[in-house]
Amino acid sequence: MNHTDMNITDTLRENYMPYAMSVIISRALPEIDGFKPSHRKLLYTMYKMNLIKGARTKSANVVGQTMKLNPHGDGAIYETMVRLTKGNETLLHPFVDSKGNFAKHYSRDMAYAASRYTEVKLDEICSELFRDIDKNTVDFTDNYDGTLKEPTLLPVTFPNILVNPNQGIAVGMANNVCSFNLKEVCETTIAYLKNSKCDIYKTLLAPDFATGAELIYDEAAIKQIYETGKGSIKLRSKYRYDKKNSVIEIYEIPYTTTAEAIIDKTIELIKLGKVKEITDLRDETDLSGLKITLDIKKSTDVAKLMGKLFKMTPLEDTFSCNFNILCGTTPKVMGIAEILDKWTQFRMDCIVRRIKYDINKLTHRLHLLEGLKLILLDIDKAIKIIRDTEKDEDVIPNLMRGFEIDEIQADYIADIKLRNLNKEYILKRIQDVDDLEKELDRLDAIVKDEKEIKKIIIAELKDVAKKYGTDRKTDIIYDDVTEEFDESAMIEDYNLRIFFTHDNYLKKISHISLRSSGAHKLKDDDYIVCEWDSTNKAELILFSDKQNAYKIRLHEVEDCKASEMGHYIPNIVEMEPDEKILYAIPTSDYSGDVLFVFENGKGAKVSMKCYETKTNRKKLVNAYYGKQKLVGIKYLQNDEDIVIYSSLDKIVIFNTSLMESKASRESMGVSLMNMKKKSTVAKIEYLKDVKFADPSYYTAKNIPASGYYLKDEDNDTGQLSLF
């Protein structure tokens, strides 16, 4: 077939899919024993090298031997080993006892030594990984070239999948399993084995990490992770404050970050002037462990400084969980209960296979002894048969005929040394028959009883917890005792006045500067649309002619003077082409309402709360009703008297208390002024900004109102221009 005629779906199926499946099944995702293939091959190689009890050997030696099972370069295999070592401090319970420099999980830049310089052996806990592996507890498969056998899983005696962390990226999926405390996992598994509906939260308190730090307990987040296998948790660094020397020492950091990342971000904040309390910063990490030292000014509020650093640097970080685990050849995202269920099934199968192996061994032993028992009846006959047999090859058949035993029994008898063919030796061997029969009956009963198998698993879990269990490294702190950093507390606050012009210029002038300033500088034909008193911590909402609202934090806008033109809005806000800002409202608490009046005489009174957002959104679309032309916008801190002008010189004055505040930004509102044919609303004003000889003449007690024609005496009042 010509390559141009190939179907893309066929190409993907034939070439890409096998690759994707290989990555998912044979590389990136852990199985129920808690290991990826690369981990399993490495550890099994070390086990076969007798490194579980023997002395350490050079890492290069292990790497070379592992290549017989893992067809990858020495660099990739050694990197896998590094992560499993005690020296690297990645795992709560390292599997490799190491000597030499293996770098540190909490350091981005520290490099581990070459494999020819370092030494390794298996840690003591590995005896729990390989227990009874020679008793057919797990399946074995050929290695890549068919010259060796390797286990498909390791018969771990505890849920290692939850005890040590795992991270991997496959094709189209990933996994990120956090670590839990070994004692807590064992207690939880025991409780689950006794009652599958047990309260997991009582024993499995929260994740636990090798780097320690503090976990900010969020009940909803923990529940989501435990139930679905997905979610995130917040981790916060630990620090101590030396008041005498004005020094803060950070000695434990989140598992997800590094000391260098924290230092780099802190230096960046110092250079930007956002952190002024720190006078010096050093990385004092040494053989005793991690230490980042901050020299601070004596007057510094330490709690506030650390709150700022938690908010703005990786000193506080998030661990995103994704418990995607291979079950057989199927990847599945599972919660804690389902993982325990799968592990229980796996471990029970290991126990059953081990017992059946023992039963087969004991049955074989019993069978041999039963043959031995028969020759007790006539030892002389057995000796005579052997002595009278001319050919060696006829000894076994002659014994079989003489005592009516099978070939296996006859072979066993024939191999007994001459010195052991005495009554005492044979009687001692036969005494074992009763014990063997009792043991076989006991093992048969266990295999048939699920409860008995669970008792064995529980006993093993208790033993593991007692031998290898440690206290939590990651402390749990609760939301009600953690202080969230208030960023606004670090913003310099002062009173100011905001000016917004028709040509979209914004002036932010402090009250102090305003007192000493002269006349405003404006472009020709430009004029001020609105002006407000506000503070530097407030937000500014800008309403455009395309039904958009833009939000600016005023502390992010530089102050200016009255003699300056001000900031051109399109330079500080990313707006749509040909878009124009109509009105600006500063707010600190989103109190009050916004009045929108349309050309058809209708108006909407929309609550300011409609523009409040939990996230720092810069733009809100559909900020007001867009199916009628907007004539004017007014901010209402409280209800106000508003003047409406029609194109026929009619006027209505009404109080906004006659309108109901709406909770929807797109409300079309209510009729305010009855419009005659071809007449429209021309503009609106606050009554306080207009001078009428008799305002009550135009005032309506109810809306909508028809209004009254403008009196001649009010015609030259110099009302404000339209915006």
In a shared domain, residues 287 and 373:
no
Q: Are residues 140 and 153 in contact, defined by beta-carbon separation less than 8 angstroms?
A: no
Spatial separation of the C-alpha atoms in residues 382 and 404, rounded to whole Å: 12
Intervals of the chain under pLDDT 70: 1-6, 16-17, 19-27, 170-172, 479-490, 716-723
Q: Are residues 643 and 688 in contact, defined by beta-carbon separation less than 8 angstroms?
A: no
Q: Does 349 reside within a domain?
A: yes
Q: Does 165 reside within a domain?
A: no
What is the full DSSP assignment across 599-620? TTSEEEEEEGGGG--SS--SEE
In a shared domain, residues 287 and 413:
no
Q: Which amino acid is at 682?
A: A
What's the per-residue H, E or C state across 555-584? Answer: HHCCCCCCCCCCEEHHHHCCCCCCCCEEEE
Q: Does 16 reside within a domain?
A: no
What does the pLDDT read at residue 722? 39
CATH of the domain at 263: 3.30.1360.40
Give me the number of domains the chain comprises. Answer: 4
3-state secondary structure of 344: helix
CA dihedral 431, 437, 438, 439 (to 10 degrees): 100
pTM of the model: 0.71
Looking at 156, 188, 207, the residue that finishes a domain is 156
CATH of the domain at 45: 3.90.199.10
Q: Which amino acid is at 675?
A: M
What does the pLDDT read at residue 625? 93
Element (H, E) at 79: helix 74-84
CA dihedral 453, 459, 463, 464 (to 10 degrees): 40
Q: Are residues 373 and 430 in contact, defined by beta-carbon separation less than 8 angstroms?
A: yes
Nearest to 611 by CA among 541, 537, 538: 541
Give how far Cα 266 sits from Cα of 269, 294, 305, 515, Å.
Answer: 5, 10, 12, 39
What secondary structure letter does DSSP report for 672? Answer: -
Q: Are residues 350 and 138 in contact, defined by beta-carbon separation less than 8 angstroms?
A: yes
Nearest to 266 by CA among 312, 206, 207, 305: 312
In a shared domain, residues 668 and 519:
yes
Looking at 265, 297, 314, the residue that finishes a domain is 314
Distant-in-sequence, close-in-space partners of 431: CB < 8 Å, separation ≥ 6: none
In a shared domain, residues 459 and 511:
no
In a shared domain, residues 496 and 448:
no
In a shared domain, residues 647 and 681:
yes
Distant-in-sequence, close-in-space partners of 47: CB < 8 Å, separation ≥ 6: 122, 126, 129, 130, 133
In a shared domain, residues 151 and 259:
no
Q: Which amino acid is at 479?
A: D
From the CB of residue 159, how many other CB atoms can be counted at a distance below 10 Å?
26
Spatial separation of the C-alpha atoms in residues 245 and 417, rounded to whole Å: 83
Q: Are residues 340 and 235 in contact, defined by beta-carbon separation less than 8 angstroms?
A: no
Nearest 5 degrees, angle CA 461-CA 463-CA 465? 70
In a shared domain, residues 661 and 513:
yes
pLDDT in tens, 63-83: 999 999 988 889 999 999 999
User: Helix H segments across 583-661?
Assistant: none
Spatial separation of the C-alpha atoms in residues 324 and 177, rounded to whole Å: 8
Name the phi and psi angles at 401, rounded to 5: -75, -40
Q: Does 170 reside within a domain?
A: no
Spatial separation of the C-alpha atoms in residues 89 and 112, rounded to whole Å: 12
- When computed from its CA atoms, the radius of gyration of the chain, rounded to whole angstroms, is 41
What does the pLDDT read at residue 473? 96
Nearest 5 degrees, angle CA 622-CA 624-CA 628? 110
Give the 3-state secondary structure percentages of the chain, helix then strand then coil, rounded to 5.
Answer: 40, 25, 40
Q: Does 189 reside within a domain?
A: no
Residue 274: domain span: 238-314
In a shared domain, residues 654 and 516:
yes
Looking at 468, 502, 520, the residue that finishes a domain is 468
Q: Does 308 reside within a domain?
A: yes
Q: Does 583 reside within a domain?
A: yes
Spatial separation of the C-alpha atoms in residues 314 and 628, rounded to whole Å: 49
Catalytic pick among 16, 44, 47, 117? 117
In a shared domain, residues 423 and 535:
no
Spatial separation of the C-alpha atoms in residues 478 and 500, rounded to whole Å: 46
HSE-CB for 317 with a 13 A CA cutoff? 21
Spatial separation of the C-alpha atoms in residues 386 and 240, rounded to whole Å: 85
In a shared domain, residues 611 and 676:
yes
Active site residue 117: yes
In a shared domain, residues 270 and 344:
no
Q: Does 297 reside within a domain?
A: yes
